[in-house]
Amino acid sequence: MERFRNILKRVDAVGWIVPALVVLVWLWLSASGQIPAYKLPSPVELIRVLADFASGGLGVTPYSGALWENLGISLLRVLSGFFIAGSLGMIMGFLTGRIPVLKRLFDPVIHLIKAVPGIGWLPIAIVWFGVGEGNTLFLMSLAAFFPVYVNTAAGAAAIPEMYIQAGQMLGAQGFGLFRAIVFPAAFPQAAVGLRLGLGVAWAYLVLGEVTGVTKGLGAIMSDARMLGHVEMVLTAMIVIAVAAKVTDFLLVAVCRRIYPRGGRGNESGI
């Protein structure tokens, strides 16, 4: 109960003002008939569809009771892509941020690849991996890699040299120096990249899932669009937004465990 109270204390009521206004305007537009229901269903209808999507039994749409299976599949894809991107991004970021020759060797190529929009990789990804899991995982991992890499490299490069010298004077060398000085000093900036990378992974999940997989929230969005179930498309979007927010909250909690001295005032949000 005490933990629940602490969570409530951290909720900023001001952040709910704009969403509340949007819902009120949405209700008014739906009730007045200014926007047809086939274009924008009312919030009440979306709640009804969401309840049926989660629990089944109402038979409102063909996707009754299909939420948890598809959410689980999408979540597993996101976590897999994010793990690959986060691991490679942080390793490469720390290496290029601290070793000048590696920065000169890899950084220009990485930024050239980063300049290609994610959607531009879709045709070649289909050629390389086919339509399905491999294509989706590739797109998510590639897109999420860049914010992790750029922020980690920037954090590692910005460490004051006096910190490094102080660590060396105290006897820290090699991995010990990295663990005691480099990682703690660069982690808040790296956490920014991890949070951005996780959000990008969710965005590119949809891009990958609409290209041929049969299960997942993106696949449901694509199928519902073709069948004319606009309310189901919006419901899936809401589920993705909530799931992305929850995973971001959990990521921040993990980052605070790793770096408890970060504080809530720094740019990483941890």
Distance of CA 239 to the CA centre of its chain: 13
- Cβ–Cβ under 8 Å, residues 39 and 230: yes
Domain ranges within the chain, ordered by starting residue: 73-270
- Minimal CA–CA distance to 251: which of 170, 175, 197? 197
Contacts of residue 233, Cβ cutoff 8 Å, sequence gap at least 6 = 221, 224, 225
| pLDDT (tens digit per residue) in 40-70 | 888 888 889 999 898 877 777 888 888 999 9
Least confident range of 89-103, 122-136, 165-179: 165-179
Residue type, 118: G
User: Has domain 73-270 been given CATH number 1.10.3720.10?
Assistant: yes
- Cβ–Cβ under 8 Å, residues 197 and 144: yes
Contacts of residue 156, Cβ cutoff 8 Å, sequence gap at least 6 = 93, 94, 96, 97, 98, 182, 186, 190
Residue appearing with tokens 């590696």: 102
| pLDDT (tens digit per residue) in 204-247 | 988 888 777 788 898 899 888 888 888 999 999 999 999 999 99
pTM: 0.86
- Of the chain, the percentage scoring pLDDT greater than 70 comes to 91
pLDDT of amino acid 5: 64
- Minimal CA–CA distance to 143: which of 209, 192, 91, 81? 81
Residue type, 224: A
